[in-house]
Amino acid sequence: MTTMQESPTAAGSGANASQNFKAKVRDEAGTSPDRVSAVVTAVLQGVHAAIKEHNVTYPEFQAAKAWLMEVGEVGEWPLFMDVFVEHVIEEVAAQSQRGTLGTIEGPYYLPDQVRLEASCELPHRPEEEGAPLVLSGQVRDLDGTPLAGAEVDIWHADADGYYSGFAPDLPAGNLRGVVVTDAEGRFAIRTVQPAPYQIPTDGPTGKLIEAAGWHPWRPAHLHLMVRADGYRTITTQLYFAGGDWLDSDVAEATKPELILDPVDDGTGTRRTSYDFELEPA
């Protein structure tokens, strides 16, 4: 039976996500005033058009203002933007990229995790729940040359759908690690299969989802950030064939090319493979 643990709150997860995001990102865009004007004007025009099309009332407008204030107060902007907007940013970026397909990073990445050898087991609790899973593969460039010493930064939820660093009962670094490929660019990572999960629903993002009649579920997935010196980093997620919510991911981040189909090796361990191709930076 899965051990009961304290559920993370939206406010707690939001605060952690905001802190980690601000620590990672500074004024990196270098955006010109003309670019800012063009993009912001287009966004505002879209908002104005929606207001006119749907005859938005003053009470509805005031409710939207109060909701926006609450999103900021509890630190849920990383959650909201990553769930509802990031997939479009990634689609635009992908138009000029080659190599393995990417998808959204999401709000639960934590840098500077433990470095592990190419064949390894992710840090976990002594009695970590979940079906044993082995993900193996190779990292290479577009010409097929193996990339020795590439980093496969992997993180995922546990069998209850919770992430370490964002759930109070999980030890730091649980089910997270940076795996360094061997001389042939290969890796083999032993872990457990994660569960689908709901994005936090007790905060303003959850209130919006409920008010709109949407569901808050993401399909089970592994997060990966694959990098090597001189190559573009790939940020992606790998999903599981037959899993719930694959066709209705609240974050709209699934892609057919990113779906794994693990096979039981006869011992209860599910095995699957996925190779990564990196383009020059």
Tell me the C-alpha distance between 258 and 23, whole Å. 29
* pLDDT digit string, tens, across residues 116-172: 999 999 999 999 999 999 999 999 999 999 999 999 999 999 999 999 999 988 999
- In sign, the C-alpha dihedral spanning 90, 136, 123, 126 is positive
Instruction: Give the pLDDT of residue 168.
Output: 87
**Does the pLDDT value for residue 21 go beyond 90?**
no
**Does the pLDDT value for residue 277 go beyond 60?**
yes
Pairing of strands 176-180, 115-116: parallel
Angle between helices 204-212 and 10-24 (to 10 degrees): 120
Beta strands in the chain (DSSP E): 115-116, 119-121, 132-141, 151-156, 176-180, 186-192, 197-198, 217-218, 221-227, 234-240, 259-260, 263-264, 270-273, 276-278
Tell me the C-alpha distance between 172 and 113, whole Å. 9
pLDDT-derived band at 2 (thresholds 50, 70, 90) equals: very low
* pLDDT digit string, tens, across residues 75-89: 899 889 999 999 999
Going by C-alpha positions, the residue among 138, 170, 141 that lies closest to residue 156 is 170
* pLDDT digit string, tens, across residues 166-209: 998 899 999 999 999 999 999 999 999 999 999 888 999 999 99
**Does the pLDDT value for residue 18 go beyond 70?**
no
**Does the pLDDT value for residue 1 go beyond 90?**
no
Mean pLDDT, range 215-230, rounded to an integer: 97
Q: What is the pTM of this model?
A: 0.84
Which residues have CB under 8 Å from 273's CB, separation 6+? Answer: 135, 136, 137
Instruction: Give the pLDDT of residue 94.
Output: 87
- For the chain, the domains span 8-281
Mapped onto helix, strand or coil, the DSSP state of residue 83 is: helix
The second-level CATH assignment, the architecture, of 8-281 is Sandwich (2.60)
Going by C-alpha positions, the residue among 266, 259, 224 that lies closest to residue 242 is 259
- Contact (CB, 8 A) for 75 and 15: yes
Instruction: Give the pLDDT of residue 3.
Output: 46
Distances (CA, A) of 34 to 30, 31, 159, 223: 12, 8, 47, 35
Share of the chain above pLDDT 70, in %: 90
Tell me the C-alpha distance between 208 and 84, whole Å. 12
What count of other Cβ atoms lies within 10 Å of the Cβ of residue 183? 9
- Contact (CB, 8 A) for 134 and 269: yes
User: In the beta sheet, which residues pair with residue 222?
Assistant: 156, 238
